[in-house]
Amino acid sequence: MKMRMSAAVTALILTSTAAFGADLAPSSVEPVPPAALPFSWTGFYAGANIGYAFGGDDRVGVHYPNYIGDIGKASGKGILGGLQAGYNYQLDNIVIGLEADIQGSQIKDSVTGSVAGIPGKGQSDVKWYGTLRPRIGYAFDRFLIYATGGLAYGNIDYKLNYDGVSIKDSSTKLGWTAGAGVEYAFTDNLSGRLEYQYVDFGGYRVGNANLSTKATPDFHAVRVGLNYKF
């Protein structure tokens, strides 16, 4: 009888010990997913763009040989498209960078009028242009707003016909540009942008000692583009 009671007590103690041990066993822990890293604009990128140019204020004056008046104002307009490449560096929310682009364009205009009772016609055509610009912006994670400005250069055809005499110039000119834009990163590598630029090629003389004009080609441009960050 005593042996049976001892066996029963022993079994009860072993069962309680096992249950208590089970209560002390560590419960399974769900794995914690790694924290998502913030997006960075730092890196090289390249892309393409397309846009439209308009406006400007190029007054076509006639010097015959002294200044005698304006034929009118030429405001070039037309489509443009090209490639861009650059590098960004991000420090906290500030993004600084350098970008170069080259654009094929058909930014044309012609204006007719008369000076001293004699009809005349002026024409301009920006065949291509490019820029080299630093950029500075502020990033809201994947959204970037920026300002930009720097060097502009381009090939411009310029013509003036007056009193049966024609003068023209076709050459590459230097100027300046300034603008601003917004850009959004759809993925870690692909981003899209909307950008405004003002481009001014300054003033230069076209013609000879008998007939000349001062060309002042400039225009506004709005462009949309895509970039791939490496």
Q: What is the mean pLDDT of the chain?
A: 89
> Where does 43-229 sit in CATH, by number?
2.40.160.20
Q: Go through the chain and tell me how many residues it has.
A: 230
Give 165-220 pLDDT, tens digit per residue: 999 999 999 999 999 999 999 999 999 999 999 999 999 999 999 999 999 999 99
Residue-range domain boundaries for the chain: 43-229
Q: How far apart are CA 197 and CA 223, in angstroms?
A: 8
Q: Is 14 helix (H, G, I), strand (E, B) or coil?
A: helix
Q: Is the confidence at residue 158, as pLDDT, over 60? A: yes
The dihedrals phi and psi of 171, each to the nearest 5 degrees, come to: -160, 170
Predicted local confidence at residue 36, as pLDDT: 67
- Cite the beta strand spans of 38-77 per DSSP E: 43-54, 58-63, 67-74
Global confidence as pTM: 0.82
Give 3-48 pLDDT, tens digit per residue: 444 444 444 444 554 444 445 455 566 776 666 678 999 999 999 9
- Mean of the pLDDT values across residues 56-77? 90
Predicted local confidence at residue 74, as pLDDT: 84
First to last CA, the chain: 85
